[in-house]
Amino acid sequence: MYKIDSTQAEEFISHEEITETLEYAASNKNNRELIRSLIEKARACKGLNHRDAAVLLECDDPELLEEIFTLAREIKQKFYGNRIVMFAPLYLSNYCVNGCVYCPYHAKNKTIARKKLSQEEIRQEVIALQDMGHKRLALEAGEDPIRNPIEYILESIQTIYSIKHKNGAIRRVNVNIAATTVENYRRLHEAGIGTYILFQETYHKENYEKLHPRGPKSNYAYHTEAMDRAMQGGIDDVGIGVLFGLNTYRYDFVGLLMHAEHLEATYGVGPHTISVPRICSADDIDAHDFQNAISDEVFQKIVAVIRIAVPYTGMIISTRESQASREKVLELGVSQISGGSKTSVGGYATPEIPEENSAQFDVSDTRTLDEIVAWLLKLGYIPSFCTACYLEGRTGDRFMSLVKTGQIANCCAPNALMTLQEYLEDYASPKTRELGVRIIQEQMEKIPNPAIRRRALENLSAITQGKRDFRF
């Protein structure tokens, strides 16, 4: 039985509802009148439900597809402008007791190097990340209650926030760790995390259990209901996602949107972010073994329709994707990307030698952060290192109201430009600095509120004189 506000996984992610939705979408894929009406409905920027979105995903009419892509671009511009938030992952440990068949961290893998960072090693990694220019991290760790207990994660967060190096500081720590208890989520909230991120991997219960044959993660319901417990523990910024390629993309696309609808209906706030990773090779994992891999064209359509269906959400793409792939989806909906990333345990302070490979997946985009910043600037984007909303307490429904009312332009735009100025002053190469200065000059004129524009200009001047951390 489908029940959107249930706390039971198999009710808010109903197999029967997904199946019926897919049948409905398939039967209407050539219904031009319906598709056009859905495109028009979506122009109001109120989103679409999972059934309507599934119809758009099925559409393969070239003319209508272009209309879908055009609308996705328009919605992305309206809500997020040309700002792209920058972050980096930091892997604390790859010890893991699970048996996930798509991840090289699985417990039976004897070829991967097992590592766990000490607090001093974390300190060195964070300093290296600060020296690159990063202000926002995503913490990653394998699930191992003995080696990676919640106390270790909490201590690591405290260490990261405590490090002030030159002009560097990590201002927001997002956390991607295994599903846990309401009490542990409460402790993470009290530690000052930004977003709690957990990928479902797949919403198909039967396939989920095959892909997770052993370990705590094998419990489908416990994993799927993790965001409910996180919300109950006080975390109001949560991030969801699936790993495309593990199951049929249509099924997981619908499940993903149903999860977003459930969070909004139950807690009054949908996902802060939606991630769209694709299966990737690593160590003893060969992506070609997974038969549900998706093409670049399908991937782009998924991103576009998610942007239309959930216009308020941030969308994340990692260094799994190539430069070319990232460039395509940036305009269609993606608002956050990683840069200069390492998917090994550590690896920023001292590059990992091949014989000690601890990486979770192969990186396709191997450029430095500065190279990625320069690339974004050349494309007309504003690389943003902003964490203002988190620092000002604009999280959960407070952030969403800012986005949905369009007031984000008077807040995020100047904050993005000021943090970009900080990056240019402290870390950028001369060529990148030149590109950035030009973009800042152009974009300052587009801030709607004259009083905010005037204050932002004053702050930019102060940044050039050595002052830091201005925000609206």
How does pLDDT run across 42-59, given as a tens digit for each residue? Answer: 999 999 999 999 999 999
For residue 41, give both structure tokens: 């409905």
Q: What is the number of H-type helices and E-type strands within the chain?
A: 20, 11
Distance of CA 443 to the CA centre of its chain: 25
Q: Which range in 284-293, 357-366, 388-397, 454-463 is most confidently predicted, on average pLDDT?
A: 454-463
Cβ neighbours of residue 15 under 8 Å, at least 6 residues apart? 204, 205
Q: Does the pLDDT value for residue 353 go beyond 90?
A: no
pLDDT band at 128 (very low <50, low <70, confident <90, very high): very high
pLDDT of residue 247: 95
Range list of H helices, 133-248: 150-162, 182-190, 205-211, 220-224, 226-232
Q: Does the pLDDT value for residue 140 go beyond 90?
A: yes
**Residue 195 to residue 94: CA distance in whole angstroms:** 21
* H or E, element range at 324: helix 323-332
pLDDT of residue 398: 67
CATH T-level topology, domain 83-384: TIM Barrel (3.20.20)
Q: Does the pLDDT value for residue 85 go beyond 70?
A: yes
* Residue 125 buriedness (CB in 10 A; 0-12 / 13-18 / 19+): buried
pLDDT of residue 397: 65
Q: What is the pLDDT of residues 358-399, one digit of tens each?
A: 878 778 888 999 999 999 999 999 999 988 676 666 676 667
pLDDT band at 471 (very low <50, low <70, confident <90, very high): confident
* SS3 at position 435: helix
- The answer to which of 81-85, 354-358, 436-440, 449-453 has the lowest mean pLDDT is 354-358
- The answer to which of 95-104, 212-221, 353-362, 411-420 has the lowest mean pLDDT is 353-362
Of the candidates 190, 212, 228, the residue with the CA atom closest to the CA atom of residue 143: 212
Q: What is the pLDDT of residues 301-330, one digit of tens each?
A: 999 999 999 999 999 998 889 899 999 999
**Residue 467 to residue 53: CA distance in whole angstroms:** 46
- The answer to which of 11-20, 283-292, 330-339, 391-400 has the lowest mean pLDDT is 391-400
pLDDT of residue 318: 85
* H or E, element range at 176: strand 172-176
Q: Does the pLDDT value for residue 177 go beyond 80?
A: yes
How many residues are listed for the chain in this entry? 472
Average pLDDT, the chain: 93
**Residue 337 to residue 375: CA distance in whole angstroms:** 12
Label residues 351-360 b or e (16+ Cβ within 10 Å = b).
Answer: ebeeeeebbb
pLDDT band at 235 (very low <50, low <70, confident <90, very high): very high
Position with higher pLDDT, 79 vs 355 = 79
Position with higher pLDDT, 466 vs 396 = 466
**Residue 468 to residue 276: CA distance in whole angstroms:** 33
pLDDT of residue 468: 87
**Residue 472 to residue 464: CA distance in whole angstroms:** 18
For residue 83, the 8-state DSSP code is E
Domain ranges of the chain: 13-76, 83-384, 397-464
> Which own/partner pairs from 67-73 qualify as long-range (CB within 8 Å, at least 24 positions apart)?
67/36, 67/39, 68/39, 68/301, 68/304, 68/305, 68/308, 69/300, 69/304, 69/332, 71/39, 71/42, 71/43, 71/308, 72/303, 72/304, 72/305, 72/307, 72/308, 72/332, 72/333, 73/331, 73/332
pLDDT of residue 68: 98
* SS3 at position 182: helix
Contact between residue 139 and residue 173 where contact means Cβ atoms under 8 Å apart: yes
Strands 172-176 and 273-275: unpaired
- The answer to which of 1-15, 29-43, 230-244, 454-468 has the lowest mean pLDDT is 454-468
Of the candidates 374, 443, 437, 376, the residue with the CA atom closest to the CA atom of residue 412: 443
Contact between residue 409 and residue 448 where contact means Cβ atoms under 8 Å apart: yes
pLDDT of residue 66: 97
Distance of CA 195 to the CA centre of its chain: 9
Q: Does the pLDDT value for residue 183 go beyond 90?
A: yes
pLDDT band at 87 (very low <50, low <70, confident <90, very high): very high
pLDDT of residue 407: 64
Q: List C-alpha distances in Å: 217 to 100, 188, 223, 449.
A: 8, 20, 7, 49
Q: Does the pLDDT value for residue 8 go beyond 90?
A: yes
pLDDT band at 346 (very low <50, low <70, confident <90, very high): very high
